[in-house]
Amino acid sequence: MKQIKTSVYKLIFEQFSVSEDDITDETGPGDLPKWDSIGQLRLILSLEEEFGIQLSVDDIMKINSIKDIVKVIGKYKSGVSELSKGQKPVPSTDFHPVRVPATTYWGHGSLSVIGNIVHGRVAFITGLSGYAKDMGKRVSKMLPEHIGFKVFQRQGREPYHNNIITLSEELQSFLPEHIVAIGGGSTIDMAKLTWLLYEKPGFELNEVNLYKDLKLRDKAIFTAVPTTFGSGSEVSSAAAFSEPNKTGKCIVVSHEFLPDQLILDPSLGQSASLSTIYASAFDALTHAIEGYVSIVNHPLLASSAIMAIKNILAVLGKIKSSGVTQDVLETLCYAAYNAGIVQNHCSVGLTHSLAHQMGGFGIGHGVANSLFLVPVINCNAAKTDIYTKLMSEMGFSTLNDFIDNVNRLLSEAKLYPDKGVIDDIVSNKSLIVEGAMDDITFRTNPAVLDKSAVELVFDQAINNLPS
């Protein structure tokens, strides 16, 4: 371990142009002028090269100080002295696990299983719409008579810190033994965070960033029922929330957020508007693409990413000719599930980094991803050949052919923010770019980009919008 620590310190000295007097074991991202988001990404790449390893997304999320780096590297079976140049990377002792909900029920009508899996006092957390409220009434009729339940509708378009606290206090009064989230990604994220504060009332959300062993399930278990298919929150270890007057999102990451049960019922998407379905599809498409090209390589999930991309592109092509059929919803439901698993294990990139800044301007996450997806691909492809492999797997002759196809589908979807909103984000360009480069997902973008490159991506996204 001492040799590892010495090597890590040497890398820090070289990477950030500092001396031993400038750092301690507790020094981490943001503590040194050059240790920003780009510096963190470059450091990760240097660590992998120096030690002949490949860090998993779990490893990357645990790195918040030099002490963390030494601990993570120390988990690997071989030290630097045992590796020769060109030797294959040493596998992590985490063995790159695949984590999914313990039990998944799927198929049209699978919501009916709810009466068999809930127990005790049940809190149903739903969205704001009339449809969401009706869903609460619908599931209540499926419950056995001895089950006590209450429907809670979340407040706010996004999960805001204050609303999370308020809802958690309501749960404290009801004391549920089972929490069921029914809705889109924001509702499921809201339920995760509310569940966290219900289990741990004194927990400070604003002190959480990347990774925590939260030790949940002392009071309740968790079930997720997505009614829109794109966010992947139902298979994500992350939960995002917003603070007032901030453009970016705060993200809490814990594998304990994965549901105990997941219900994938494609029929629940039937009431969604066409714009919601388009936005959800592009959200899932971005997860699969950015997960595939991420610097976190997870070979077991590459095929899941390819399958999701192919199926989503096929679905987007069918909507114009056939409308939103039962088959379209079913394909999108399962493709979004697979894309969400890819995102959860491989992370994503700059498209998401920028999209996370859009919530404060009232732009939904799927629409935001569709806005930046192609400009980010073009930018990254100029610096890495990873997209060549993706195109080969997808059956496209060139990247331009693929981009032309995506642009055509985007044109059909017409997911354009209002002009007033666009003017607002343009006037906040500097703030958005800085926020994107500070976002955790920027670390796993496949190419190392400086501020001017991110600004160019932003400009191209705006210029691609119809006048």
Residue 197's contacts (CB-CB under 8 Å, 6 or more residues apart) are: 164, 165, 168, 203, 205
CATH superfamily of 2-82: ACP-like (1.10.1200.10)
Q: Is 78 helix (H, G, I), strand (E, B) or coil?
A: coil
Q: Is 44 helix (H, G, I), strand (E, B) or coil?
A: helix
Cα–chain center distance at 81: 36
C-alpha R_g of the chain: 22
Indicate the helix (H) or strand (E) that contains 153. Answer: strand 148-153
Distance CA 426, CA 436 (A): 14
Helix axes 419-427, 451-463, angle to 10 degrees: 160
Structure pTM?
A: 0.82
Indicate the helix (H) or strand (E) that contains 435. Answer: helix 429-438
In CATH, 103-269 is 3.50.50.60: no
Residue 266's contacts (CB-CB under 8 Å, 6 or more residues apart) are: 107, 108, 229, 326, 329, 330, 332, 333, 334
Residue with tokens 């705006």: 462
**How do residues 182-229 score in pLDDT, each as one tens digit?**
999 999 999 999 999 999 998 888 644 555 568 899 999 999 999 999
Query: 274-463 has which fold?
Result: Dehydroquinate synthase-like, alpha domain (1.20.1090)
Residues 110-127 have a mean pLDDT of: 93
**How do residues 6-56 score in pLDDT, each as one tens digit?**
889 999 998 888 888 889 999 987 788 878 655 776 788 788 888 887 776
pLDDT, position 41: 66
**How do residues 283-293 score in pLDDT, each as one tens digit?**
999 999 999 99
**How do residues 221-274 score in pLDDT, each as one tens digit?**
999 999 999 999 999 999 988 887 676 778 888 889 999 999 999 999 998 999
Domain spans of the chain, in order of start: 2-82, 103-269, 274-463
pLDDT, position 89: 43
C-beta neighbour count of 109 within 10 angstroms = 10
**How do residues 320-331 score in pLDDT, each as one tens digit?**
889 999 999 999
Report whether 154 contacts 190 (CB < 8 A): yes
C-beta neighbour count of 83 within 10 angstroms = 16
pLDDT, position 57: 65
Residue 435 has pLDDT above 70, yes or no: yes
